[in-house]
Amino acid sequence: MTPPKTPHADNVVRGPGHGSTSGSLRHGAPDEARPSRAEAEEAVRTLIRWAGDDPTREGLVGTPDRVVRSYEEFFAGYEIDPVDILQRTFEETDGYDEMVILRDIRLESYCEHHMVPIIGKAHVAYLPRHRVVGISKLARLVEAYAKRLQIQEKMTAQIANTIDEVLQPEGVAVVIEAQHQCMTTRGVHKTGVTMVTSRMLGAFRTDPSTRREFLSMIGNPSSRGE
């Protein structure tokens, strides 16, 4: 069966350079909708001045360049097609039909409301139906959605939905536990608060014992601290 090519229309319109056709944006011709690197650096100088400092002083001269380079890493997910990551699958599984879990995947994302980090971990599981995917691909998929401006709820759903649509397994489960720096370093200044989100599809949603098995294997994040 042929998985849909890019079902996430809503996922790829958010950022400046995005989707499967944007691979050339970083090194190639400037996109009309995307500001130039010089404009991005100028925006950083504006923010430095707005914060109350002098962008021409020695310690800050190279900062706009470094910030823009950092942004290329922080938001590298816009350059990745999440569907593409899961296209190469293995069908010789000798009938393996038990749960596949990748747990404690380091997650670095960025809150779309404050543009500060969301740091945590993701746990991803699926119940294969005929096809499995290399485990590094699941980690890559998490990264493809994390390295964007995000909210945790949407990111959780996007990861689960993509696995569901491309691999078409018996079920998918995604749990993300993360701390939001917009909550720890500003606003209410509450440290040690972890937000837990989950999306269960197929057997993980309909079969309580499957869900329990998954949750116990990842250490039951939703009941921790009780």
Phi, psi of 60 (to 5 degrees): -110, -5
Q: How far is the CB of 147 from Zn ion (least distance, A)?
A: 16
- Which listed range, 73-81, 107-115, 131-139, 164-172, lies at the site for Zn ion (CB under 5 A)? 107-115
- Work out whether 157 is an interface residue with Zn ion (CB under 5 A): no
Q: Is 18 labeled as catalytic in the residue annotation?
A: no
Please say whether the beta carbons of 110 and 116 come within 8 A: yes
C-beta closer to Zn ion: residue 139 or 195: 195
Neighbouring CB atoms inside 10 A of 185's CB total 12
- Work out whether 66 is an interface residue with Zn ion (CB under 5 A): no
- Work out whether 114 is an interface residue with Zn ion (CB under 5 A): yes
| Calpha distance 203→132 (Å, rounded) | 16
By CB under 5 A, how many residues form the interface with Zn ion?
Answer: 4
| Active-site residue identified among 72, 87, 114, 179 | 114
- Work out whether 178 is an interface residue with Zn ion (CB under 5 A): no
| Active-site residue identified among 165, 179, 181, 182 | 182
Q: How far is the CB of 114 from Zn ion (least distance, A)?
A: 4
Q: Is 79 labeled as catalytic in the residue annotation?
A: no
- Alpha helices by DSSP H, listed for the chain, are 37-51, 63-74, 82-85, 135-146, 152-167, 181-184, 203-206, 208-217
Q: Which of 99, 111, 166, 200 binds Zn ion (CB under 5 A)?
A: 111
Q: How far is the CB of 112 from Zn ion (least distance, A)?
A: 7
Residue that is written with structure tokens 């294997």 in the block:
217
Q: Which of 26, 66, 113, 129 binds Zn ion (CB under 5 A)?
A: 113
- Work out whether 5 is an interface residue with Zn ion (CB under 5 A): no
Please say whether the beta carbons of 116 and 153 come within 8 A: no
Q: How far is the CB of 50 from Zn ion (least distance, A)?
A: 19
- Work out whether 105 is an interface residue with Zn ion (CB under 5 A): no
Q: What is the DSSP string of 33-90?
A: TSPPHHHHHHHHHHHHHHHT--TTSGGGTTHHHHHHHHHHHHTGGGG--HHHHT--EE
Q: Is 130 labeled as catalytic in the residue annotation?
A: no
Q: Is 152 labeled as catalytic in the residue annotation?
A: yes
Please say whether the beta carbons of 67 and 47 come within 8 A: no
| Active-site residue identified among 108, 112, 165, 213 | 112
Strands 117-127 and 171-180: antiparallel
Give the footprint of Zn ion on this chain (CB under 5 A). Answer: 111, 113-114, 182
Catalytically active residues are: 111-114, 152, 180, 182
